Chain A
Amino acid sequence: MSENYKNKIHDIAVNTFEVTCYMFPLEEWEMEDDPITEVPKDGIQSVVGFNGAAEGEMVITPTQELLTAIAANMLGEDSPSDEQKSGALGEIANIICGNLVPIFASNDKICYLDPPKIIEGGFDDAGSPKLHEETVLVYLDEGTAEITVHYSKEGEDD
């Protein structure tokens, strides 16, 4: 089941980056740099919480080059400002999370998303021990993103 979730998270993220930012997915072996070590955990991240039919949060951590490319491509700006980079990352996080939550929610029930938050300098993603965790790396022609989802399905905490 975990691999199934990882594949769905990866596919949703890739589709979002392709459609919204005109980026293309790569395989790990196609990356020039080591994709795992280059994702900075003390850089900028966006967190979107969700509740309702499923509860948890999604954290997206892009490389610096990907962060700049997201804003540049979404907004059509050659040199996006830090504010534009934060806003664009938050919107990407919002779109990915909005498309993700139905896979954790049963019977087509409604999930509610919190507004995306921007975190700088590292996010405490220890989560609750009751929550499941899935992490995927998304390799793109403009950089790499790490996506972590902490979640519980409806009724699990009862």
Chain B
Amino acid sequence: MSLNVLIVDDSAVMRKMITKTINLCGLDVSDYYEAGDGKEGLEKLDAHLVDLLFIDINMPVMDGMEMLSEVRKRECSQDLPVLIVSTESNEGRIEEIGRQGAAFIHKPFTPEVLREKIMGIIQNRTIS
């Protein structure tokens, strides 16, 4: 299955790193879309078919937690696989990410850990 991936992060370097790491994982990706904040990310989500969404937490304009909440309010993206990428270590915030049905990966991460996370959320989606 070929995936469309949206990466929402205010750091162009991190967006490129995530793209590079996904490519190293050997996933079949059709298109990559990028956004620099949550608001732009929602606009990209409305404009494109997205199969997998990466969101940073600390971003200007609209942060990642607010974007995740908006994503889940939309019928079309209620079950969309979402991976939050952050240095966050506050347990309360990480639990909230889980309650919103998203997976969490802590920066820094290796390609192997990222692949494991992606495969986990994609398989969960396929099963459900």
Contacts and interface: CB of A to CB of B under 8 A. Distances in A.
Interface of A: 15-16, 19-20, 71, 74-76, 84, 87-88, 90-91, 94-95, 97-99, 102, 108-110, 112-113, 115
Contacts of B10: 115
Interface residues of B, number: 22
Contacts, number: 56
Given A98-B86, A99-B87, A110-B90, A74 B108 contact: no
A22 to B, nearest CB: 10
A91 B86 contact: no
A27 B16 CA distance: 32
Given A19-B109, A91-B11, A113-B58, A76 B87 contact: no
Nearest to B9: A91
A48 B127 CA distance: 42
* A contact face: mostly helix, strand, loop, or mixed: helix
Name, among B11, B108, B110, the residue most crowded by chain A CB atoms within 10 Å (CB to CB). B108
A95 B17 contact: no
Interface string B3-18: 0000000111110110
A75 B20 contact: yes
B91 interface: yes
Contacts of A74: 13, 17
* B contact face: mostly helix, strand, loop, or mixed: loop
A95 B87 CA distance: 6
Nearest to A15: B108
Contacts of A84: 13
Contact of B13 (A15, A90, A97): A90
A16 B17 contact: no
Interface in B47-73: 58, 60
Nearest to B10: A115
Contacts of B20: 75-76
Contacts of B16: 75
